[in-house]
Amino acid sequence: MLRSTSYFARYPMKFLFSAALLLGALFIPIHAAAAPTCVSQTLSDYIALPDGCSIDGLVFSGFRYFSSAIFGNPELVPADEVTVNPIIQPRPGLSFSGNWTATASIADHLIFYEVSTLSGLPTISDGYLDWSFNRTGPFSVASLDEFLCLDGSPVPGGCGGNPPLRFYLRSSIAPGNPSDHISFAPVAKVVALKDIFVDGLTGSATISRADNQWGQVPEPSSFLLTCCGVLAVGISWKYRRYRAG
């Protein structure tokens, strides 16, 4: 007499793997078009990108740049003399390099940009700031401020009526911090303002590099697939013990 067996009983691993893929697909949004991969080019090129570019699941877009003299005659740096390099490890981000210098003068340079998740899910949870600078003179100042709007609203107008988050690096008489970090509740989009300020009124001040990296929490789909994989291994082990017994 033939014994009827279910598909799961015959092929437990195939069943669990198919279920994991199906459940994971339910949590992965479908996107019409993905942004191109970020590459090393000038800030002018980044400003011209219609849809931005992507690094490891994050999209960088909406670039704007302003360079202005506050006092004296500093050498202003145009966007085509600023190099932008993608950062992949340890976290996705961008490195901005330029010769932002003020000698017997004061200058301020602003870079606006947006960071959003390719999946549309709220996974951005940390911001990291790093830089390279130099200064001479007793009271010269180099500072790198980063203002973040976590709801995607423009930074100058506030963040939906709330003040933006701020983290910064500063070097005056003291050596200054080499890096800074800020954590927040996971979001899907961040609008950032990078303020590169050099005050060389009593000497000179230079910032040559300003880096950002962004930390993320795991996406629900990735977590779900991992859980299904662990569950599949456990059930398969128990099933083999049952068959052997």
- If you average pLDDT over residues 168-192, what whole number do you get? 84
- If you average pLDDT over residues 151-166, what whole number do you get? 80
- If you average pLDDT over residues 5-19, what whole number do you get? 49
pTM of the complete model: 0.78
Tell me, yes or no, whether 74 lies in a domain: yes
Position 31 scores a pLDDT of 42
Instruction: Report residue 32 as tokens.
Output: 């019409």
CATH code for position 72: 2.60.120
Tell me, yes or no, whether 31 lies in a domain: no
Specify the number of domains making up the chain. Answer: 1
Tell me, yes or no, whether 222 lies in a domain: no
Position 161 scores a pLDDT of 75
Tell me, yes or no, whether 13 lies in a domain: no
What pLDDT digit, counting tens, does each position of 99-130 carry? 999 999 999 999 999 999 999 999 999 999 99
Tell me, yes or no, whether 152 lies in a domain: yes
Tell me, yes or no, whether 183 lies in a domain: yes
Domain containing residue 115: 41-214
Tell me, yes or no, whether 14 lies in a domain: no
Position 211 scores a pLDDT of 96
Say if strands 93-103 and 204-216 run parallel, antiparallel, or are unpaired.
Answer: antiparallel
Characterize 77-110 residue by residue with b for buried, 16 or more Cβ atoms within 10 angstroms of its Cβ, and e for exposed: bebeebebebbeeebbbbbbbbebbbbebbbbbb
Tell me, yes or no, whether 158 lies in a domain: yes
Position 245 scores a pLDDT of 58
Position 8 scores a pLDDT of 45
Q: Say how far apart CA 27 and CA 228 lie, in whole Å.
A: 14
What pLDDT digit, counting tens, does each position of 30-63 carry? 443 568 999 999 999 999 999 999 999 999 999 9
